[in-house]
């Protein structure tokens, strides 16, 4: 009843605004509705030198620098230290953020500093759990890149450390904080697409960089890279600069397309639907094109069964990453219900309403046309005596569109919430538990792919069953 009331309130909001046109059904036209989403307002604020949050970057690769830019766009943040295993990145971060920046190849030196309030961990996946737990224990707030962990067995240890040391922990999947995700959640809860039954989700790419073939510097050697520290608890291998700079291609250090990209899609889906995750997982795919020595697939397909909960009906998900996408790549979350479809992307949201008809009818592609003329007349009389003539109805808007304003950054919003949690103790959405409920199905996708079996997952306890 509450969901139906929300849906009616939503439709009423548009009809009052003149988007619906009244009259009989014959000759009616419906207008499209378009709205520019309003970003959240984070007022500027001046902070004294003593009131700044002092941040250290652990991992200064592509995402590390992206995180630094977003963090520095927020008032009262100062980057005071950085750690990376390649000396060239330490030189670069000093060039960008000041020669006085403290730099090191040993992250433990960062954690030992009492003047550091928070750390951003943008390292290889296989270091996430170690560094996060140690940082929380050292009294630092932690922003850790997704996926939260490299192995499923590590997740609950991170959550235990978060609960024990009571520091802010945010996992870095910025879609969670995006205004498009918040609007999609509002629309979903209004019932605008009716009853959800299927989600089609993709994150495709069409370039060598998109397939993780990043630039390797000409000075990459064992003098400029701490190879032993990079290996950590991974299997010991000889120095290979490709493994260092293309680490996402290897199971020893990364989590493949599922851990890099599926986890973003699970994160957005779980916010929108208030879901804890699927209970049944099956994956397929293969290494079809990027035969560069990697040991993870470049195409991954996942099928997921979501159980019915108090916040959503049972539904299915089909998820895809294709690094060989000749159509040009792109990403979206497409929610399909019995009354319409909602497509969410970084550009905004499109809703197309098309209610599945359950009212009996006859004619068209129907067995009615195979009846004798006499039986057709009899059937027509029977049908109208039971269901009556079709009544005219108001036509709702068939297409709704919500656009993200130019220049908007969900990444900045995600960082703003993290900083607000440090300053004011506000609760974070993407904490350790949320992070594992997004990472869990992604990592279980890899289990299913490599083990060639269906994975049964408990989304409440966050464990394979």
Q: Which pLDDT belongs to residue 18? A: 34
Per residue in 79-89, pLDDT (tens digit) is: 999 999 999 99
Q: Which pLDDT belongs to residue 44? A: 84
β-bridge mates for residue 55, sequence order: 79, 118
Whether 409 shows a pLDDT value over 90: the answer reads yes
Per residue in 193-219, pLDDT (tens digit) is: 999 999 999 999 999 999 999 999 999
Distance CA 208, CA 223 (A): 28
Q: How confident is the model at residue 102 (pLDDT cuts 50, 70, 90)?
A: very high
Tell me the pLDDT of the chain averaged across its residues. 92
Q: Which pLDDT belongs to residue 16? A: 35
Q: How confident is the model at residue 6 (pLDDT cuts 50, 70, 90)?
A: low
Q: Which pLDDT belongs to residue 199? A: 98
Ranking 18-32, 48-62, 121-135, 307-321 by mean pLDDT, the lowest is 18-32
Per residue in 317-326, pLDDT (tens digit) is: 999 999 999 9
Q: What is the share, in percent, of the chain residues with pLDDT greater than 90?
A: 84
Q: Which pLDDT belongs to residue 3? A: 55
**pTM of this prediction exceeds 0.85:** yes
What mean pLDDT is predicted for residues 450-456?
98
Whether 393 shows a pLDDT value over 90: the answer reads no
What mean pLDDT is predicted for residues 404-417?
96
Q: Which pLDDT belongs to residue 15? A: 39
* Higher pLDDT among residues 220 and 6, named by residue: 220
Domains assigned to the chain:
1-31+355-397 (no CATH), 49-175 (3.40.50.720)
Q: What are phi and psi for residue 6, nearest 5 degrees?
A: -60, -40
Ranking 28-42, 108-122, 233-247 by mean pLDDT, the lowest is 28-42
Whether 8 shows a pLDDT value over 80: the answer reads no
Per residue in 264-306, pLDDT (tens digit) is: 999 999 999 999 999 999 999 999 999 999 999 999 999 999 9
* Higher pLDDT among residues 21 and 234, named by residue: 234
Per residue in 133-149, pLDDT (tens digit) is: 999 999 999 999 999 99
């Amino acid at each position: 009843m509450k969901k139906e009331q929300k849906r009616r309130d939503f439709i009423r909001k548009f009809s009052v605004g003149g988007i619906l046109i009244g009259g009989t059904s014959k000759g009616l036209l419906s207008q499209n509705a378009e709205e520019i989403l309003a970003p959240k307002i984070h007022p500027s604020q001046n902070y004294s030198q003593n009131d700044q949050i002092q941040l250290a970057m652990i991992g200064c690769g592509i995402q590390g620098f992206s995180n630094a830019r977003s963090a520095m766009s927020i008032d009262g943040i100062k980057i005071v230290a950085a750690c990376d295993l390649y000396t060239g990145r330490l030189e670069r971060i000093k060039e960008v953020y000041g020669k006085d920046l403290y730099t090191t190849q040993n992250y433990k030196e960062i954690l030992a500093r009492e003047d550091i309030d928070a750390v951003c961990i943008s390292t290889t996946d296989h270091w996430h759990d170690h560094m996060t737990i140690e940082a929380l224990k050292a009294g630092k707030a932690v922003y850790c890149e997704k996926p939260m962990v490299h192995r499923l067995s590590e997740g609950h240890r991170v959550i235990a450390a978060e609960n024990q040391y009571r520091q802010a922990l945010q996992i870095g999947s910025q879609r969670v904080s995006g205004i498009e995700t918040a609007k999609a959640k509002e629309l979903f809860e209004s019932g605008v697409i009716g009853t959800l039954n299927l989600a089609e989700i993709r994150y495709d790419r069409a370039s060598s960089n998109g397939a993780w073939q990043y630039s390797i510097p000409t000075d990459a050697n064992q003098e400029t890279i701490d190879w032993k520290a990079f290996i950590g608890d991974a299997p010991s291998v000889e120095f290979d600069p490709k493994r260092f700079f293309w680490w996402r291609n290897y199971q020893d250090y990364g989590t493949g397309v599922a851990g890099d990209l599926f986890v973003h899609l699970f994160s957005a889906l779980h916010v929108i639907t208030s879901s804890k995750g699927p209970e049944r997982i099956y994956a397929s795919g293969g290494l079809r094109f990027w035969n560069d020595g990697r040991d993870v697939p470049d195409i991954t397909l996942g099928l997921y069964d979501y159980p019915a909960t108090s916040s959503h009906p049972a539904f299915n998900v089909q998820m895809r990453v294709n690094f060989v996408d000749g159509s040009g790549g792109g990403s979206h979350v497409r929610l399909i219900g019995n009354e319409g479809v909602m497509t969410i992307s970084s550009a905004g949201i499109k809703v197309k309403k098309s209610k599945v008809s359950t009212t009996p009818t006859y004619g068209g592609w129907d067995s009615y046309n195979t009846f004798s003329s006499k039986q057709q007349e009899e059937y027509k009389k029977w049908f109208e005596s039971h269901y009556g003539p079709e009544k005219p109805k108001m036509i709702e808007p068939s297409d709704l569109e919500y656009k993200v304003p130019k220049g908007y950054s969900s990444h900045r919003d995600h960082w703003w919430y993290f900083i607000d949690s440090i300053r004011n103790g506000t609760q974070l959405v993407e904490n350790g538990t949320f992070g594992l409920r997004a990472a869990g199905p992604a990592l279980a996708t890899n289990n299913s792919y490599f083990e060639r079996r269906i994975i049964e997952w408990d989304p409440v306890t966050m464990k394979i069953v």
